[in-house]
């Protein structure tokens, strides 16, 4: 994770990394084209299949929307919760209080060492014997806890990338360390944090397909139900893949726009 | 250096991929040796025992059929949703996995003659009163089943119910034990295995009402594979004439 979180200013002097960063900036036209091709291609493919190959694509297309809604619901709630967990973890990881630091570090180590699928099973079925969490809630909690650990590392690295002098300067102006963090460090850290965070959003969206094992009727589950009943595996999964592609492309564009906004306000 | 790395990579890929293809073409030429898929999460019909072997009524039955028909069978544990896609794609030669013979399924696969009958039945928590059939549930009740099974189709037909479709039936029973769903629908044999025979569930569940469907299980072969189908059909007839199927029912289903 750490290698992608670099100060954009520094990267400017490094041609390799500058190239990578430019690919996500607005000046470079290559990514826009690639994104455009992928997006128009996916939308056109869906439209073509639904209009000209009605049987069975239209039926599949009509079957899936509530699954898309559930996928969105899981992703958005998990992202919001993961952001909060991530920020707290990130701050705790740079805390000078040893207990807080150690707790957060252990959390990150443990969660990053367990596959998300196993965590989902664990929270739903293993802990289900003790506390009864509804399927949707356990899906969101499991994804948020998992991604919270990854985001915590992004926040930590982003905060640490802000030159030390900034904190010292803010403190010498009479700010408390909390004030300095809120008004000086975090606003600067956001610029470095946002690109990798955007990647995490998209990754989380794709990983949300794992919640279908909890009998949560997300996009993949709906697709599997349709395919298992109609035996149209090829057609159904083609449609599911295209719809996931469209959603992830929209999300990545959205984070791209947010990045541009923040960089423009520099 | 790069070339060396690439060639190692390619060699590795070959090692990983080739044995499978070799086996498949071999199996296609000589159907005497066949691979049979089963979703071993359906006790007592097909399941994994403590020694990681696939066992159950279906397995014993298939072995009996195979020895009558002169086939050599290798089993492949396969997830239920996708099991029919696998046979169409030629990943195995037959399926023996409590597959109900259905007209819709006949369009994409061939069935042997029926080898056993079963029905769908409802299982509910023991303390629940007044539920004898799917129609007795209140609006919006959650009823679980395995994805892509007749049980799931039957629940879906009832528009007032919410279908919870699980990857395997054990997860549905576990969810009902925890109290997240109101009922589970599955085959009679499976229901009695979970609700009457298992220590951890015996006190929690009960079977209610009568089986509400009448179904016959068949062995599935790839569409158009008449040679294998005939061998299997003859095998089933021989097994039934000798009464081996009755012995197996006694062993697994009583």
What pLDDT is attached to residue B45? 94
Residues B21 and B104 in one domain: yes
Structure tokens belonging to residue A220: 């993949």
Are B187 and B147 part of one and the same domain? yes
Residue A71: pLDDT band with limits 50, 70, 90? very high
CB contact under 8 A, B152 and A224: no
pLDDT of residue B5: 75
Do B151 and B95 lie in one domain? The reply is no
Distance (Å) from the alpha carbon of B141 to chain A's nearest alpha carbon: 14
pLDDT of residue A116: 93
Question: Do B111 and B129 reside in the same domain of the chain?
Answer: no
Shared domain for B83 and B204, answered yes or no, is: no
* B48, B40 contact by CB (below 8 A): yes
Which of B148, B166, B180 is nearest residue A134 as measured by Cβ atoms?
Answer: B180
Q: Could you give the CA distance from residue B93 to residue B69 in angstroms, rounded to a whole number?
A: 15
Count of alpha carbons within 13 Å of A256, Cβ hemisphere only?
A: 17
Residues B23 and B111 grouped into a single domain = yes
pLDDT for residue A258 is more than 50: yes
Is A227 in Cβ contact with B180 (below 8 Å)? no
Pairing relation of β-strands B142-146 and B162-166? parallel
β-pair type (B94-95, B142-146): unpaired
d(CA B145, CA B170) in angstroms, rounded, equals: 10
- pLDDT score at A262: 81
Interface test with A, best of B39, B78, B85 (most A CBs within 10 A): B85
Residues B228, B110 within the same domain: yes
pLDDT in tens, B53-67: 999 999 999 999 999
> Considering the domain boundaries, does residue B46 fall inside one?
yes
- Chain A residues in contact with B164 by the CB 8 A cut-off are 135, 215
Residue B9 included in any domain: no
Strand partners, B77: B38
Are B96 and B35 contacting, i.e. CB atoms less than 8 angstroms apart?
no
Structural domains counted in chain B: 2
User: Does residue B221 sit within a domain?
Assistant: yes
Q: How far away is chain A from the Cα of B10, in angstroms, using its nearest Cα? A: 28
Pair B195, B108 in one domain = no
Q: How does DSSP assign A106-139, residue by residue?
A: HHHHHHHTS-HHHHHHIIIIIGGGTS---HHHHH
Overall residue count recorded for chain B in this entry: 254
Please tell me the predicted confidence (pLDDT) of residue A11.
41
Contacts of B107 in chain A (CB under 8 A): 231
Minimal CA separation from A264 to chain B, in Å: 42
CA–CA dist B220, B229 (Å, integer): 8
Of B165, B171, B172, the CB nearest to A221: B165
Asked if residue B59 lies in contact with residue B45, where contact means CB atoms within 8 angstroms, the answer is no
User: In whole numbers, what is the pLDDT of chain A averaged over residues?
Assistant: 85
Q: What is the pLDDT of residue A45?
A: 94
Least CB-CB distance to A224: which of B81, B107, B180? B81
Buried b vs exposed e over B156-189: b needs ≥16 C-beta within 10 Å?
beeeebbbbbbbbbbbbbbbbbbebbbbbbbbbb
Which value, to the nearest 10 degrees, does the dihedral of the CA atoms of residues B3, B7, B13, B17 take? 140
DSSP β-bridge partners for residue B76: B37
Residue contact A128–B81, C-beta within 8 A = no
Is B204 domain-assigned? yes
The verdict on B167 touching A (C-beta cutoff 8 Å) is yes
Does residue B44 lie in a domain region? Answer: yes
Burial code of A172-190, b = ≥16 C-beta within 10 A, e = fewer?
eeebeeeebbeebbbebbb
Structure confidence at residue A6 (pLDDT): 42
Question: If pLDDT is split at 50, 70 and 90, which confidence band does A17 have?
Answer: very low
Options 1.10.10.10, 3.40.50.720, 1.10.3720.10, 3.40.50.2300; CATH of A2-264: 1.10.3720.10
pLDDT digits (tens, 9 = 90+) for A86-108: 999 999 999 989 999 999 999 99
Output the CA angle B226-B232-B238, nearest 5 degrees: 135
Chain centre distance of CA A218: 17
The reply to whether B178 touches chain A by the CB within 8 Å rule is: yes
Quote the pLDDT of residue A22: 42
pLDDT at A157 over 80: yes
Chain A nearest C-alpha distance from B81 (Å): 6
**Between chains, do A129 and B178 touch, taking CB under 8 Å as contact?**
yes
Residue B54 domain-assigned (yes or no): yes
Residue A68 has pLDDT above 80, yes or no: yes
CATH of the domain at B59: 3.40.190.10
Mean pLDDT of A123-128: 85
Q: What is the mean pLDDT of each run of 10 residues along chain B (254 residues)?
A: 73 63 48 88 92 93 94 93 89 94 92 94 94 93 93 92 92 91 94 89 92 94 94 95 93 87
Strand, helix or coil for residue A162: coil
What is the rounded distance in angstroms from the CA atom of residue B130 to the CA atom of residue A249? Answer: 51
Task: Express each pLDDT in A40-66 by its tens digit.
Answer: 999 999 999 999 988 889 999 999 999
pTM: 0.77
Containing domain of residue B180, as a range? 120-208
Residues B176 and B161 in one domain: yes
User: Nearest C-alpha of chain A: how many angstroms from B176?
Assistant: 11
- Nearest Cα residue in chain A from B170: A125
Report whether pLDDT(A15) > 90: no
Contact A128 B153 (CB under 8 A): no
Determine the residue of chain A that is closest to B153 in CA distance. A229
Distance CA B217, CA B188 (A): 13
Let me know whether B89 and B171 are in one domain.
no
**B182 and B126 in a common domain:** yes
Distance CA B189, CA B118 (A): 8
How far does the CA of residue A236 sit from the closest CA of chain B (Å)? 12
B220 and B101 in a common domain:
yes
Q: Nearest CA to B216 among B128, B142, B117?
A: B117
Question: Are the beta carbons of B101 and B177 closer than 8 angstroms?
Answer: no
Beta bridge partners of B85: none
Whether residue A85 has pLDDT greater than 50: yes
pLDDT greater than 80 at residue A24: no
| The pLDDT of residue A266 | 56
């Amino acid at each position: 994770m750490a290698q992608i979180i670099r100060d954009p200013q520094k990267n400017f002097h490094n041609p390799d990394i500058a190239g990578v960063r430019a690919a996500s900036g607005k000046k470079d036209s290559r990514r826009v084209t690639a994104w455009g091709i992928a997006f128009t291609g996916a939308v056109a493919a869906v439209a073509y299949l639904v209009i000209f190959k009605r049987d069975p694509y239209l039926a599949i297309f009509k079957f899936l929307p509530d699954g898309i809604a559930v996928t969105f619901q899981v992703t958005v709630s998990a992202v919001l919760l993961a952001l909060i967990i991530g920020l707290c973890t990130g701050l705790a990881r740079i805390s000078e209080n040893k207990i807080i630091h150690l707790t957060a570090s252990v959390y990150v180590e443990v969660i990053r060492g367990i596959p998300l699928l196993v965590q989902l099973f664990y929270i739903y079925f293993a802990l289900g014997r003790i506390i009864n969490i509804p399927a949707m809630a356990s899906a969101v909690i499991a994804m948020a806890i998992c991604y919270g650990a990854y985001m915590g590392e992004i926040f930590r690295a982003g905060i640490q990338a802000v030159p030390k002098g900034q904190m010292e300067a803010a403190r010498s102006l009479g700010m408390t360390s909390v004030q300095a963090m809120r008004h000086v460090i975090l606003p600067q850290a956001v610029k470095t944090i946002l690109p990798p965070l955007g990647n995490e959003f998209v990754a989380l969206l794709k990983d949300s397909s794992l919640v279908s094992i909890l009998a949560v009727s997300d996009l993949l589950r709906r697709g599997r139900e349709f395919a298992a009943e109609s035996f149209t595996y090829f057609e159904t999964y083609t449609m599911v893949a295209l719809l996931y592609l469209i959603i992830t492309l929209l999300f990545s564009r959205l984070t791209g726009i947010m990045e541009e906004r923040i960089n423009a306000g520099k | 250096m790069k070339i060396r790395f690439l060639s190692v990579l390619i060699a590795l890929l070959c090692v990983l991929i080739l044995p499978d293809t070799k086996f498949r073409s071999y199996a296609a030429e000589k159907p005497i040796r066949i691979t049979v898929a089963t979703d071993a999460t359906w006790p007592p019909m097909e399941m994994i025992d403590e020694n990681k072997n696939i066992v159950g009524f279906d397995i014993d039955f298939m072995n009996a059929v195979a020895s009558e028909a002169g086939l050599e069978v290798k089993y492949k544990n396969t997830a239920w949703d996708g099991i029919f896609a696998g046979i169409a794609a030629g990943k195995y030669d037959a399926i023996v996995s409590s597959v109900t013979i259905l007209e819709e399924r006949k369009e994409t696969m061939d069935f042997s003659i029926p080898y056993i009958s079963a029905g769908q039945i409802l299982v509910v928590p023991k303390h629940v009163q007044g539920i004898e059939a799917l129609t007795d549930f209140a609006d919006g009740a959650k009823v679980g089943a395995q994805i892509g099974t007749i049980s799931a189709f039957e629940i879906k037909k009832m528009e007032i119910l919410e279908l919870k479709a699980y990857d395997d039936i054990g997860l549905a029973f576990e969810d009902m034990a925890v109290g997240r769903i109101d009922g589970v629908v599955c085959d009679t044999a499976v229901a009695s295995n979970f609700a009457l025979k298992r220590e951890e569930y015996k006190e929690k569940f009960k079977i209610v009402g009568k089986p509400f469907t009448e179904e016959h299980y068949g062995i599935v072969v790839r569409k158009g594979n008449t040679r294998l189908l005939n061998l299997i059909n003859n095998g089933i007839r021989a097994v039934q004439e000798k009464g081996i199927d009755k012995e197996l029912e006694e062993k697994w289903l009583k």
